[in-house]
């Protein structure tokens, strides 16, 4: 019985620590940088996730072209999916940091207001509609660049 009480007391301490940790995390998120919130709103409004997915798709298309011998199962396995997820996350965080650095709060507010106007809404629709075109251009450009790069390094004896 004494051992059970010790475990219960230890677990009470762990539960208290857990609750304190949750309270701390909540307090930190409540006092989060208001500018960062604006950056996140802007990135969501601009559908940056779609752009990142396009980048990933372009990368995968080019990688499949370069590594034709890999089975289709390679491109759908969890490790490759995690690699792509990490790539998109790194891009997201990089863009997020850049917007935070180069745009003021006032500029972010103005951009968000613009996106609510008729022209801003048209701009957003246009971005979405043009995404497949951008993806194809990026993919084709990457293929040309990789081919030219391969020729270039061969001329150096590699």
Q: Is 72 helix (H, G, I), strand (E, B) or coil?
A: helix
Q: Is the pLDDT of residue 151 over 70?
A: yes
Rounded to whole angstroms, the Cα distance separating 104 from 42 reads 12
Average pLDDT estimate for 138-150? 81
Tens-digit pLDDT profile for residues 64-110: 988 999 999 999 999 999 999 999 999 999 999 999 999 999 999 99
N residues, the chain: 158
pLDDT at 15: 57
Tens-digit pLDDT profile for residues 18-77: 554 454 554 454 447 999 999 999 999 999 998 888 888 888 888 898 899 999 999 999
- 14 or 119, which is more confident? 119
Residue 84's nearest CA partner among 62, 103, 101 is 62
Q: Is the pLDDT of residue 8 over 50?
A: no
pLDDT at 1: 53
pTM score above 0.75: no
Rounded to whole angstroms, the Cα distance separating 52 from 140 reads 17
Say which range, 2-16, 59-73, 135-149, has the weakest mean pLDDT. 2-16
Rounded to whole angstroms, the Cα distance separating 58 from 141 reads 10
Name the DSSP letter for residue 103: S
Six-digit token pair at 96?
A: 């997020």
């Amino acid at each position: 019985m004494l051992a059970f009480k010790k475990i219960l007391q230890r677990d009470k301490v762990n539960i208290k620590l857990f609750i304190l940790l949750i309270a701390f995390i909540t307090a930190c998120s409540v006092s989060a940088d208001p500018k960062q919130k604006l950056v996140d709103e802007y990135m969501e409004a601009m559908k940056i996730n779609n752009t990142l997915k396009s980048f990933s798709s372009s990368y995968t298309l080019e990688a499949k072209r370069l590594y034709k011998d890999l089975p289709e199962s390679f491109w759908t396995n969890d490790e490759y999916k995690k690699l792509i997820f990490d790539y998109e996350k790194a891009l997201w965080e990089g863009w997020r940091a850049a917007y935070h650095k180069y745009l003021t709060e006032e500029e972010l507010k103005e951009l968000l207001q613009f996106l609510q106007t008729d022209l801003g809404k048209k701009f957003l629709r246009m971005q979405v509609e043009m995404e497949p075109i951008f993806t194809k251009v990026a993919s084709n450009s990457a293929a040309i660049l990789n081919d030219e790069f391969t020729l270039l390094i061969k001329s150096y004896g590699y």
